[in-house]
Amino acid sequence: VQLQASGGGTVQAGGSLRLSCATSGRTLSTYAVGWFRQAPGKDREFVAAIRWSGDSTYRDSMKGRFTISRDNTKNTVFLQMNNLKPEDTAVYYCGADRVITSAWGTWGFWGQGTLVTVSS
């Protein structure tokens, strides 16, 4: 599975961004896609993930501000981020695997990251 993340940028606190993760490869319908983020000096942390069926799961602190969705016709997963805060500043990565876990080391496929910077 190949993944390509895009959509990062610089936004003021309170603003919004939508990240995209374009996927390709075989048997995509058997893979979930997840978003993780890594702030400077911190470990990579789980943000949200979605199955082919559309079932999704979120890190508790992201619920209500972040929404994950997917367009299976375009093999693309989106992460809509609203009311962004400076602490959301991080490199955001999308990953794929058959099983959703919050541990990034268990995910088998990764795209390159996209940088999100939220200024105060």
For residues 67 and 80, is the Cβ–Cβ distance under 8 A?
Answer: yes
Q: How much is the pLDDT for 28?
A: 78
The residue with tokens 């990764």 is 110
**Tokens encoding 15:** 């603003």
Instruction: State residue 16 phi and psi, 5-degree precision.
Output: -130, 155
Percent of the chain clearing pLDDT 70 (strictly above): 98
Does residue 26 have a pLDDT over 70? no
> Would strands 9-12 and 17-24 be described as parallel, antiparallel, or unpaired?
unpaired
Q: Dihedral sign for Cα 119, 21, 1, 30, please.
A: positive
Quick one: pLDDT at residue 85? 97
